[in-house]
Structure 1
Amino acid sequence: MPFTVLDHTADLHLRIEAPSLERLFVEAARAMVGQMFPTVLSSQTENESVQNDADSGEATSSSGEKQSGTDNNVPRVDQSTVVRELTLSLGEPLPSVDKGLDGETERLPAVWEDLFHDWLSRILVLSTADRLLPIHYNVTFDKEGLHGRIVARPLDPQHDVGEIEIKAVTYHGLKLERTTGGYRAEVIFDT
């Protein structure tokens, strides 16, 4: 499993690890929603792609490389699903994270942490206020920010029993790092 629940006094503290920034953002959203609604996490495939959906053309990875291709794991968009497009920009260009790594870990610039916080906050609103449960995520970055495509289904109160109520994504303890194996994030949720 690409995330770990860490001990914390009253809140939910997660550590997420992934080989790319795109995957880190996806896994963090999956972990958060999965903690609230375990049925969603158990129904998602382990092999979800963070590259393009079949109809979205080319995208740019965090390293600036063009990605293309289809994602055979994308759930079918039909009457029972909703697609939400999401663009997050913080008003300043995203700094590159491709420079050499000094040591085993290196903290990413604060703008990446802000983007991560905003991404998770938007997913939280989608899940709690809009009553939609994400079943697939597609995340890409460009110099301006994050572009996300979320396929969600309506909450089924009889099937989707919530376990943890997450009220907010906090900045307390929020940390994004580049590691020798990829990327790691730590985030605390107000429960």
Structure 2
Amino acid sequence: MAYYWNEAYRDDLVIVYENPTVFDRAWIVHDVRPAMDGQELQLLNSRQVDGRVTAFVDGPLPEVAPPAGSGPGDKVVVTRTEPERIELRAESSAPGLLVLSEVYAEGWTATVDGERVEVLRTNHALRGVPLPAGEHEVVVTYEPESLRIGLWSTGLASVAMLGIWGWALIDWRRRGWARRGIPPHREATDAAYRGLPTE
């Protein structure tokens, strides 16, 4: 596999190779083809297909067009990186597919200039974001469905617990008034004064 790599270091235990053709963190392609049940990896690894120019996508193909020959080339700058969020600035003279050198997984979402777009499984294991022509702000975040369900469940449980505690507090005060022999009208007055519901 190292036939196209440069040897950068060697000692008695290890050999370190430099890959002079390493891909960037993200790039834009204008040739998008349907996935081939894993065979696309063989084409990309054998260099029969240039991964900087062509991408293979699972599902419906996004709209792409050849870049304008006289215009500026595609530009992608990663402006912020966090474990569950990546922000980029992208510029292209024609519609294309922004490919991120990040592992694809269910739960990743993307916005282009604030508008939600689908994250596509690209080149078998990477993420792809459809991109219109022009300059754009792209944000890719990890928001799995399980997290949203968990947050909703936690919120509902918290509201239910607050309701139970509130009811228990009101009941406890009413029982206290009854033990002290406070008349019903006095109970209602005290409850109203304290902001509690009255019967």
TM-score of Structure 1 vs Structure 2, range by shorter chain: under 0.3
Normalising by structure 2, what TM-score?
Answer: 0.22
Judging by fraction of residues, say which structure has more helix. 2
- Of structures 1 and 2, the one with the larger relative CO (CA 8 A, separation 6+) is 1
TM-score between the two structures when normalised by the length of structure 1:
0.22
